[in-house]
Amino acid sequence: MPEAPARHRFAARVLDWGPPVEVARELEATDSDPEGVGIMVRKARIYPVRLEAVPLKAAPLLKQELLAVGGDAAHARGIADHSVPSSSAVLLATWGQYRHLLPKLRRQPFGLRQLADEVDRALRAYAGRGPSEVAGAHRTLPLGARPRVLGVVNVTPDSFSDGGRSLEPAAAVALAERLVAEGADAVDLGAESTRPGATPVPPEVEWRRLEPVLSTLVGRLRVPISVDTRHAAVARQAIDAGADLVNDVEGLRDPAMRVAVAGSRAAAVVMHMRGTPATMQTDTAYGDVRREVYRFLADALDRAEQDGIPPSKLLVDPGLGFGKTAEQSVELLAHVGEFRSLGVPVLVGASRKSFLGWATGEPEPTARVDAGVAAAVYAAEHGVSVVRTHDVAPTVRALRLWERIELARRASPSSSEGKAAAEAEL
Ligand code: HH2
């Protein structure tokens, strides 16, 4: 009997590759021509880009140009018979194909020039490493290989997981110092609970709670201090007193808040929420939650920039649990990496939230630490820059492991072509 051929003669292995730098290294490992590596890296992955409201006349041109470079595009059937005025679209192309496509689109009419510029910016933002820091009003938050950890200090009687524990200034100061000792890269002071249905706190009361804590911490902490407030007057006082960032769960929708931030050197977190904490859970019907949240954040960034806040001062946050069902929060977390396309660092806060309870069956918020840590690691894997958490020590430990994994993936390729691809990411 002839011997059966070995089933693994060629050791066929589907490569588990992550960042482009790792792709370059795997290609180099075949002893391929270094120049070829530089070219092939750009072919290694399809980047699907979703667009909204592509005009009727632009959509067929877009598809035609994509097909011409070897990619493709999906748009509404109604484009063919002119029964729709516009269509959303999904573009499918490799990095190399986009490099051929974009100059061609820039020469076309019907808004395709602007569309090309937007696609280019989104791709670079998504695939790139992002900014290396966010400069606050007084101190700077360096960003790096692993997400930075923003530790939560609630100076409130009614926060959903720790209300009343640090309402006393001395307790709040001690908590902030403990979180920094545990590895927090910044602290977030909040004096108004934003849990669903929370009673709004007048700005004077909010400031009365914040002021003694903030003024003590400013002299003691080296890390940036963020203030979680929806009120422009509180933000202004806090920045003057030494706060670095404004964490606005209303996404800078109040023009006075934009003026307050623009007139200072503070950075700001733009978070998505529908309505206010008091009303947000009354309307959780979304056609497409990812699309709506993305649109809201994109518009908020545009408005902020028009009002004089440069993108380098902004972060975005999809606002898990804010006017969302548990399923919707999970969907947003699942796709959190998409928000990197907005071109500013992404912050996410999952810690102790009720959607973690929904997913794990754990009714007690303080017993959701492990689920919160899992969410932080997932966020890290998807390029989130900052995670907001009550549970700093276990989150920092988990992210240190994740950072080791990431560094193993990012070991540098040896050729200059591979390195060049890796440096800009592509
Ligand atoms: N979540 C809470 C509060 N502020 N800010 C941002 N940017 N992102 C979040 O996910 C976020 C936030 C809710 O947590 P907590 O502060 O502990 O609760 P409460 O609002 O009840 O004080």
Which ligand 1 atom sits nearest the alpha carbon of residue 194?
20
Residue 371 · residue 378 · CB < 8 Å: no
Q: Which of 150, 192, 228, 234 to mutate to test the pocket of ligand 1 (most atoms within 8 A of CB)?
A: 228
Q: Whole-angstrom Cα distance, residue 106 to residue 119?
A: 11
Q: Which amino acid is at 150?
A: L
The pLDDT assigned to 35 comes to 87
pLDDT in tens, the chain (426 residues): 677 779 998 888 999 988 888 888 999 999 998 888 888 999 999 999 999 999 999 999 999 999 999 999 999 999 999 999 999 999 999 999 999 999 999 999 999 999 999 999 999 999 988 999 999 999 999 999 899 999 999 999 988 888 888 899 999 999 999 999 999 999 999 999 998 888 899 999 999 999 999 999 999 999 999 999 999 999 999 999 999 999 999 999 999 999 999 999 999 999 999 888 888 888 889 999 999 999 999 999 999 999 999 999 999 999 999 999 999 999 999 999 999 999 999 999 999 999 999 999 999 999 999 999 999 999 999 999 999 999 999 999 999 999 999 999 887 777 776 676 666 556
Q: Measuring from each residue's beta carbon to the nearest atom of ligand 1, which residues come in under 6 Å? A: 152, 154, 156, 159-161, 190, 193-195, 228, 247, 249, 269, 271, 317, 319-320, 347, 349, 388
SS3 for 267? strand
Instruction: State the distance from the centre of ligand 1 to the C-alpha of 355, rounded, in angstroms.
Output: 13
The closest of 235, 115, 223 to 178, measured between CA atoms, is 223
Q: Whole-angstrom Cα distance, residue 268 to residue 54?
A: 31
The closest of 407, 381, 418, 425 to 26, measured between CA atoms, is 418
Which ligand 1 atom sits nearest the alpha carbon of residue 349?
10
The pLDDT assigned to 422 comes to 61
Q: Whole-angstrom Cα distance, residue 388 to residue 179?
A: 12
Protein residue with its CA nearest to atom 8 in ligand 1: 349
Place of tokens 């588990």: 16
> 159-173 burial, b if ≥16 CB within 10 A, otherwise e?
bbbbeebbbebeebb
Instruction: State the distance from the centre of ligand 1 to the C-alpha of 385, rounded, in angstroms.
Output: 17
Which ligand 1 atom sits nearest the alpha carbon of residue 160?
21
Q: Whole-angstrom Cα distance, residue 174 to residue 153?
A: 10
Query: According to CATH, what is the number of the domain 133-390?
Result: 3.20.20.20
The closest of 5, 24, 4 to 15, measured between CA atoms, is 24
Q: Whole-angstrom Cα distance, residue 54 to residue 94?
A: 21
Question: Structural domain boundaries of the chain?
Answer: 16-127+413-426, 133-390
**Helix (H) / strand (E) containing 374:** helix 369-381
Q: Give the catalytic positions in this structure.
A: 353, 388
Instruction: State the distance from the centre of ligand 1 to the C-alpha of 126, rounded, in angstroms.
Output: 26
Instruction: State the distance from the centre of ligand 1 to the C-alpha of 194, rounded, in angstroms.
Output: 6
Q: Which of 153, 248, 249, 354 to mutate to test the pocket of ligand 1 (most atoms within 8 A of CB)?
A: 249
The pLDDT assigned to 1 comes to 66
Residue 295 · residue 303 · CB < 8 Å: no
- Cα 248 → chain centroid: 15
Instruction: State the distance from the centre of ligand 1 to the C-alpha of 222, rounded, in angstroms.
Output: 23
The token duo for 260 is 């307050």
- Cα 352 → chain centroid: 19
